[in-house]
Amino acid sequence: MKREAVQGWMLVLPAVVLLAAFTHWPTLQTIWASLQTTAVPGHPSRFAPGQNMQNLWADPVFWQALRNNLVYAGCIIPVTLGLSLSMALVVDRRFPGRGLLRLAYFTPTILPMIAVANIWLYFFTPGYGLIDEVLAPFGLGEWNWFGSTSTALPAIIVIAIWKEAGFYMIFYLAALQTMPPDLREAAALEGASRWTYFRRVVWPLLMPTTLFVCINVAIDAFRLVDQIVVITKGGPDNATTILLYYIYEVGFQYWDTNYAALLTITLLALLGAVAALQFGLLARRVHYR
């Protein structure tokens, strides 16, 4: 037994040490840093847990970033889930051109966001951008999508969903294709409609995948800032600033590293809460086989 214990620890140590060094240790460092103020001329850095918290509470950009992030996540998670599931259901059946469609759905995943952000910038360009061109015959042709505070965030969300849905389609597809075919036969024999079959059989069996997809999309919804960095830089007027982007701005442009640390802690706490919520809601319904 003892030998096994030693072996066990030795096998896990390399990976765990690296992991801890770049995840757990920095988290502790961040917590410590968040309790200190950043040095300004005349005021060296000092331990002041209340000060940073006060600044946070009073910071309108933080609250906006928080709101934006919740909207961002709140839209991305359900829509991506729904789309990726629908795509998987469509591509699951045999029909001519299935491979092509699957390829079309999956392509956004392999294109780096940085690369496609500019393409989307073009699509949303007022007037001659593709979207406005399409809307023009309906008399709606002159939207400044990225230039107005009400449409910038939705446009950014559209890009994020486009990027993510195809990737999670693969997970659903894999799950669907390993479902035993006799289930469908049985349902057919009982005269169940496709909708009933889906609702009563497929959906519950997909629960593990749904949970997995849900949590990963949620995490992505807090991590995906590339298109913001390239297209809007958080604007106009912080309409597209989400927490991670604000952290980048505060940490690497304002050099207020301790405040950035506090923002990071907030982000981690939020992420944890979202994950816990999803786990709580969905884990109960998961059937493992």
Using CB under 8 A, which of the segments 45-53, 67-75, 123-131 binds other proteins?
A: 123-131
52 interacts with other proteins by CB under 8 A: no
Residue 43 three-state SS: strand
The gap between the terminal CA atoms of the chain, to the nearest Å, is 31
70 interacts with other proteins by CB under 8 A: no
Among positions 45, 54, 133, 200, the unique one binding other proteins when judged by CB under 8 A: 133
71 interacts with other proteins by CB under 8 A: no
Which 145-204 residues touch other proteins, going by CB under 8 A? 146-149, 162, 166-167, 170-171, 173-175, 177-178, 181, 184-185, 187-188, 192-194, 197
d(CA 170, CA 110): 13
**Angle at which helices 60-92 and 98-110 pack, to 10 degrees?**
160
Listing DSSP states for 213-240 in one string gives: HHHHHHHHHHH--HHIIIIITT-STTTT
Count other Cβ atoms within 10 Å, centred on residue 191. 7
Among positions 47, 50, 57, 99, the unique one binding other proteins when judged by CB under 8 A: 99
Using CB under 8 A, which of the segments 44-52, 71-79, 206-214 binds other proteins?
A: 206-214
Q: Using an 8 Å Cβ cutoff, are 283 and 202 in contact? A: no
Question: Shortest approach of other proteins to residue 102 CB, angstroms?
Answer: 7
78 interacts with other proteins by CB under 8 A: no
DSSP letter, residue 199: I
d(CA 244, CA 73): 13
Which 216-255 residues touch other proteins, going by CB under 8 A? 219, 222-223, 225-226, 229-230, 232-233, 235-239, 244, 247-249, 251-255
Please work out the total of residues on this chain that contact other proteins, with binding judged by CB under 8 A. 136
DSSP letter, residue 242: -
Among positions 199, 272, 283, 285, the unique one binding other proteins when judged by CB under 8 A: 272
Among positions 102, 156, 157, 160, the unique one binding other proteins when judged by CB under 8 A: 102
State which residue, 50 or 139, has the beta carbon closest to other proteins: 139
Long-range contacts from 45-48, C-beta under 8 angstroms, 24+ separation? 45/258
262 interacts with other proteins by CB under 8 A: no
77 interacts with other proteins by CB under 8 A: no
Question: Shortest approach of other proteins to residue 238 CB, angstroms?
Answer: 6
Q: Using an 8 Å Cβ cutoff, are 217 and 157 in contact? A: no
Phi, psi at 199, each rounded to 5°: -65, -40
